[in-house]
Homo-oligomer: A and B are copies of this chain.
Amino acid sequence: MALIVQKFGGTSVADLDRIRAVAARVKAAVDEGNQVAVVLSAMAGITDQLAALVSDMAPIHDTREYDTVVSTGEQVTAGLLAIALQTLGVTARSWLGWQIPLRTDGVHGGARIEQIAVTELHRRLGRGEVPVVAGFQGIGPLGRITTIGRGGTDTTAVALAAALGAERCDIYTDVEGVFTSDPRIVAKARKLNKITYEEMLEMASVGAKVLQTRSVAMAMKHRVPLQVLSSFSDNPGTMVVDEDEIVEQELVSGIAYARDEAKITVVKVADRPGVAATLFGPLSDAGINVDMIVQNVSDDGKSTDITFTVAQNQLEQSIAALEAARSKLEFERLVADPNVVKVSVIGVGMHSHAGVASTMFATLADKGINIQVISTSEIKISVLIAEEYTELAVRSLHTAYGLDDD
């Protein structure tokens, strides 16, 4: 007997039949003798509809009222699942953020979870009741409903699992687990049985959309074992665990890519101390995250070219911020290129093995793919290349690191 938190995403609760299927799955876990708490998303598409109502009413709006409106989606699914469970003979009740209470800070629209009261939930779990928790929402310091950002239901589930001391947090979604690469472009991608928190974090941060970065970071911090699995099959999923729980660590666990990058080159900026601060200050002030950065010394020795990447949807804003600071920066011109992709090789094993980077560079060179920018971390190597080479690069690297399914 274990205490398990099960989280079901929007496609898993998209209509009444799917909610009934979720109820059957929860009942099965209860019948096996487990204590089960459930965390739910809104029906697929509903949060977007509610957010659109608010934005159509006023593009710039009171985020406290935004939270009041959009949090209703999870309130509906929580009530419906509680009823579906009761129909199967399982004792269940819905819990809204303010009822638990799940306390957050006051940053509406993107609140951080501060504390979850679990005494009453433990008492009810102990007598076989299933708490059905509305995800994505909490209560702020002034008694208003807060939401914890898009994808926040994963975070709610992990935080609840940590607070309850659960043995596992199962994240049910519409894919079978975490793959060595995106199966839509790599036919030979394999489902991973296990992956470390660190690798999952890197994969989430460079484009793998299976889990929210924030929820993985929280699971890692609290050492909550996560399982990613499909609500449409009975296959085991991928366990996200500590490094020492993986006996035979692969050198490389996966190849990820992110198409939503854009490259900016600042051509012939005066090369003097503090130029980087002068350059990136205005971007930071505008709330723009800069990702990969490379600096070249130009021929004349007095100026330099600086290249960096930003999120594609912040490209225009970035250009505007740099142009506004032009007089201070003294650059010749800006060159923007949205047609780039960041391809990343990820693996905990690589920090103890040489040659991982050179395999990557040789593989890409062999296919005639030019590397524009490189960045590395302990367990990841990322390169920026022209977007048209995405599939070729990802498939070639998948083969080169021996990840192909046989």
CB pair A53–B76 under 8 Å, yes or no, is yes
Q: Mark each residue of chain A from 142 to 165: 1 if its CB lies under 8 Å from any CB of chain B, else 0.
A: 011100000000000000000000
CB pair A62–B75 under 8 Å, yes or no, is no
Q: Which residue in B54, B80, B84 is a CB contact (below 8 Å) of A80?
A: B54
Say yes or no: is A94 at the interface (Cβ < 8 Å to chain B). Answer: yes
Shortest Cβ distance from residue A122 to the other chain B in the assembled complex, whole angstroms: 17
* 10 further contact pairs, Cβ within 8 A, besides A62-B93, A69-B80, A71-B75: A19-B57, A54-B79, A54-B83, A57-B83, A58-B83, A61-B86, A62-B83, A65-B86, A69-B75, A99-B143
In the complex, chain B residues whose CB is within 8 Å of the CB of A69: 75-76, 79-80
| Contact size range, A | 35 or more
- Given A57-B19, A143-B99; A79-B68 close (CB under 8 Å): yes
CB pair A16–B72 under 8 Å, yes or no, is no
Q: Mark each residue of chain A from 84 to 95: 1 if its CB lies under 8 Å from any CB of chain B, else 0.
A: 101100000110
Q: Mark each residue of chain A from 19 to 31: 1 if its CB lies under 8 Å from any CB of chain B, else 0.
A: 1100000000000
Say yes or no: is A98 at the interface (Cβ < 8 Å to chain B). Answer: yes
CB pair B99–A83 under 8 Å, yes or no, is no
Shortest Cβ distance from residue A181 to the other chain B in the assembled complex, whole angstroms: 39
In the complex, chain B residues whose CB is within 8 Å of the CB of A264: none
Which residues of A, 105-146, contact B by the 8 Å Cβ criterion? 143-145
CB pair A83–B96 under 8 Å, yes or no, is no
Shortest Cβ distance from residue A144 to the other chain B in the assembled complex, whole angstroms: 8
Cα distance A71–B94 when bound, in Å? 14
Mostly helix, strand, loop or mixed at chain A's interface?
helix
Closest 8 CB pairs of A and B: A72-B72, A69-B79, A68-B79, A65-B79, A61-B83, A65-B82, A58-B87, A65-B83
Say yes or no: is A78 at the interface (Cβ < 8 Å to chain B). Answer: yes
Shortest Cβ distance from residue A26 to the other chain B in the assembled complex, whole angstroms: 15
Shortest Cβ distance from residue A41 to the other chain B in the assembled complex, whole angstroms: 15
A-B contact pairs, 11 of them (CB 8 A): A16-B53, A54-B79, A54-B80, A57-B83, A62-B83, A65-B83, A69-B75, A69-B76, A71-B75, A72-B76, A98-B98
In the complex, chain B residues whose CB is within 8 Å of the CB of A83: 54, 57-58, 61-62, 65-66
Cα distance A20–B143 when bound, in Å? 27
Say yes or no: is A64 at the interface (Cβ < 8 Å to chain B). Answer: yes
CB pair B68–A94 under 8 Å, yes or no, is yes
Shortest Cβ distance from residue A237 to the other chain B in the assembled complex, whole angstroms: 27
Cα distance A99–B79 when bound, in Å? 20
Say yes or no: is A381 at the interface (Cβ < 8 Å to chain B). Answer: no
Cα distance A226–B98 when bound, in Å? 34
Shortest Cβ distance from residue A201 to the other chain B in the assembled complex, whole angstroms: 34
Q: Mark each residue of chain A from 42 to 66: 1 if its CB lies under 8 Å from any CB of chain B, else 0.
A: 0000000010011011100110111
In the complex, chain B residues whose CB is within 8 Å of the CB of A76: 50, 53, 69, 72
